[in-house]
Amino acid sequence: MKQFLSVKDVSNINALVNEALFHKAHPLKNSSLGKDIKLGLIFFNPSLRTRVSSQIAASNLGIASFVINAGSDSWQIEWVDGALMNSDKVEHIKDAAGVLGSYFDVIGVRTFPTLKDRESDYSEFYLHQLAKYSKKPIISLESATLHPLQSLADIITIKEHSSSFKHKPKIVLTWAPHIKALPQCVSNSFAQWVNAWSEAEFVITHPKGYELDEQYTKGTMIEYNQEKALENADFIYVKNWSSYNDYGKILDVKENWLLNLDKLKATNNAKVMHCLPVRRNLELGDDILDSDHSIVQQQANNRVYAAQAVLADIISNL
């Protein structure tokens, strides 16, 4: 891989998943692979799970990683070319990215959506400006519209549980309630990966108005009836997102979309997934999260090996 911004950068998903499972079985087997490599981890948005799993993955490979909390360090970046910088922005992305590119061999970056300007968010302007001016391989640590490291960890987890299946696993992505307007990135990315993987039966269920961007869901069955969607499901991915069409809005939803043990009865003893953090009893109940249905901890743990597989692949191609 030359970069890791979405599943489009991955030539063979199963090979990458297998590489990750190898690292999971032997985390320190390649502990000198990255001994000359410097990885910058730039967070324009706070992060915990992503930061720590990336740092651990780098450490396992012998890569020296350096964290930059651009937000809390108040590094006000001007992203627009040609701007007259006479207000609060102190450095242009051209110069900042140039410096980062000269310090680091690989750059991981987390950017964020405005949830106000859809066109700008979906252009992934920040990510592309950074890639353009740093001239180094970029790994998305979650961007405005996608979260490929999460999706890779998700596929790894599904594969661990379905390897002995005699049928194609049925995966259902279901919308869940929340009190805040959340990005669509985890759901977009999951849909994009499952579709690219093409080894599952895939259904998305959500209230009307919560349709995701068609570039990720084209060809996927959309079922507005959650109960019906869940029938015979092997895996249920639970996630809230705000509206794509009425961009960034929380719509009025009357039905109860909170998953519970009762709704699982019609499934194939389904495993329940969530990317965490999860608001218990709002997005997903204790009844499920504390049961054997939940594989959310396994997903979080697989974040380390997803990152390790991606880093190993990228530095092998430097």
Which chain residues interact with a copy of itself by CB under 8 A?
28, 36, 38, 40, 46, 48-49, 52-53, 55-56, 59, 64, 66, 68, 72-75, 78, 81-86, 89-92, 94-96, 98-99, 102-103, 179, 276-282, 286, 289-290, 296-297, 300-301, 304
Using alpha carbons, select from 162, 176, 175, 110 the residue that is nearest to residue 295.
162
Smallest separation, CB 276 to a copy of itself (Å): 6
C-alpha neighbours within 13 Å on the C-beta side of residue 313? 25
Confirm if 193 and 149 have CB atoms less than 8 A apart.
no
Nearest distance in Å: CB 67, a copy of itself: 9
Name the residue nearer to a copy of itself (CB basis): 15 or 28.
28
Query: Which is closer to a copy of itself, CB of 52 or CB of 251?
Result: 52
For the bound state, the minimum distance from the C-beta of residue 199 to a copy of itself, rounded and expressed in Å, comes to: 26
As measured in angstroms, the least distance from the Cβ of 259 to a copy of itself is: 15
Contact 94, 130 (CB under 8 A): no
Q: Please say which residue, 17 or 68, places its beta carbon nearer to a copy of itself.
A: 68
Q: In angstroms, rounded to a whole number, what is the distance separating the alpha carbons of residues 264 and 123? A: 38
The single-letter code of the amino acid at 38 is K
Query: For residues 245 and 297, which CB has a smaller minimum distance to a copy of itself in the complex?
Result: 297
> Please, which residues bridge with residue 239 across strands?
175
Helix (H, G, I), strand (E, B) or coil at 203: strand
Closer residue to a copy of itself in complex, CB, 104/210: 104
d(CA 205, CA 173) in angstroms, rounded, equals 6
Give 46 or 221: the residue with its C-beta nearer to a copy of itself. 46
* 251 or 276: CB nearest a copy of itself: 276
Cis peptide before 113 (omega within 30 of 0): no
| Helix runs in the chain, H state only | 13-25, 49-60, 93-103, 118-123, 125-134, 148-162, 185-197, 214-217, 226-230, 261-264, 286-289, 296-316
The nearest distance, CB 180 to a copy of itself, in angstroms, is: 9
Any residues with CB less than 8 A from the CB of 207 and at least 6 apart, and which? 175, 224, 251, 253, 255, 257
Phi/psi class of residue 59: alpha, beta or left (left: φ > 0; alpha: ψ in -120 to 50)?
alpha
Q: How far is the CB of 196 from a copy of itself (least distance, A)?
A: 27
Query: Residue 249 Cβ, how far from a copy of itself at the closest point, in Å?
Result: 19
